[in-house]
């Protein structure tokens, strides 16, 4: 009879691939705090890594955020504390030109004391699916925000100017003065705001022109494209307190 192939021949140790997470994988997760975990971060087969994460979630050592994404936070009497809206939004929404929207923007800039039930986050692309305490709002047409790499405070300023008539809680004159101080602070790059404004709605551009001018940047204000006359008239009337 011919020689048969030995199918039980062992593969050299250096060529073998472990099908399970390393012994330290569980320990790495259990000793971590305030961070996200995904199967890709663990060694071994993805199905085995997923099994470990699911097991730790079932025992309360992890909190499931969505499929394939878990959170290791601080243990409380009520269970695993969830990630903050800020941490969650930064994990789920990547890139530049992302920041608080609407009432969340006004609250971050201290123009309102109201905290929305869900944190509102504006993204310059198709909005991710809402999750937990976060609601994403698409600003896909406002590509200038990502093109000039606006930070979250700069986005908050544009969002506040957009929702000016509905998100400001403090007296408008006080809000306008506070915005001027923000524009002159190190947290803002006025030239970037002016460049990003090219893709903003007319009402935002009109308010930004006035804000830049009142903040001591009249030449920069002139670089922001003028809105149509009807929009300008409406905005000027709403800013009569600043005259």
The reported pLDDT for the residue numbered 169 is: 94
What's the CATH number for 20-80?
Answer: 1.10.10
Candidate from 21-30, 108-117, 146-155, 227-236 with smallest mean pLDDT? 21-30
- More confident: 116 or 101: 101
**How far, in Å, CA of 243 to CA of 238, rounded?**
11
**How far, in Å, CA of 217 to CA of 190, rounded?**
8
Task: Give percent of the chain above pLDDT 90.
Answer: 63
Q: What is the pLDDT of residues 59-112, one digit of tens each?
A: 999 999 988 899 999 988 888 888 888 888 888 888 899 999 999 999 999 999
Q: How many CB atoms lie within 10 A of CB 44?
A: 17
88 to 34, 121, 140, 212: CA distances (angstroms): 11, 11, 20, 32
DSSP string, 98-142: -EE-HHHHHHHTTS-----SSEEEEESSSPPPPBTTEEEEE-TT-
**pLDDT exceeds cutoff 90 at 116:** no
**How far, in Å, CA of 56 to CA of 42, rounded?**
14
**pLDDT exceeds cutoff 50 at 13:** no
The pLDDT of 187-211, averaged and rounded, is: 97
Domain ranges of the chain: 20-80, 94-242
pLDDT category, 200, cuts 50, 70, 90? very high
Average pLDDT, rounded, for the chain: 88
DSSP string, 38-89: -GGGSSS-HHHHHHHHHHHHHTTSSEEEETTEEEE--EETTEEPPPPHHHHH
Residues 6 or more apart in contact with residue 146 via CB below 8 angstroms: 95, 96, 97, 124, 125
Tokens 């062992």 — which residue? 10
**How far, in Å, CA of 147 to CA of 202, rounded?**
19
Residue 121 bridge partners (DSSP): 100, 136
The pLDDT of 140-165, averaged and rounded, is: 96
Residue 40 token pair: 């890709």
pTM of the model: 0.77
Q: Cα angle vertex 98, ends 96, 99, to 5°?
A: 140
**pLDDT exceeds cutoff 80 at 11:** no
């Amino acid at each position: 009879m011919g020689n048969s192939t030995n199918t039980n021949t062992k593969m050299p140790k250096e060529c073998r691939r472990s099908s399970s997470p390393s012994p330290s994988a569980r320990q790495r997760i259990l000793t971590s705090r305030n961070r996200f975990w995904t199967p890709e971060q663990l060694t071994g087969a993805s199905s085995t890594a997923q099994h470990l994460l699911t097991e730790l979630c079932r025992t309360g050592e992890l909190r499931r955020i969505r499929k394939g994404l878990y959170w290791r936070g601080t243990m409380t009497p009520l269970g695993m504390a969830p990630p903050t809206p800020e941490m969650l939004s930064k994990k789920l929404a990547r890139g530049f030109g992302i920041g608080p929207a609407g009432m969340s923007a006004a609250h971050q800039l201290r123009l309102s004391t109201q905290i929305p039930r869900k944190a509102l986050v504006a993204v310059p692309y198709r909005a991710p699916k809402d999750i937990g305490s976060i609601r994403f709002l698409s600003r896909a047409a406002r590509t200038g925000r990502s093109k000039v790499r606006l930070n979250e405070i700069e986005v908050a300023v544009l969002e506040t100017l957009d929702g000016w008539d509905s998100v400001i809680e403090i007296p408008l004159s006080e809000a306008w003065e506070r915005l001027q101080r923000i524009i002159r602070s190190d947290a803002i790059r006025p030239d970037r705001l002016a460049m990003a404004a090219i893709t903003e709605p007319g009402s935002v551009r009109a308010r930004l022109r006035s804000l830049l001018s009142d903040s001591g940047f009249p030449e920069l204000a002139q670089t922001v494209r003028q809105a149509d006359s009807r929009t300008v008239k409406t905005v000027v009337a709403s800013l009569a307190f600043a005259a």
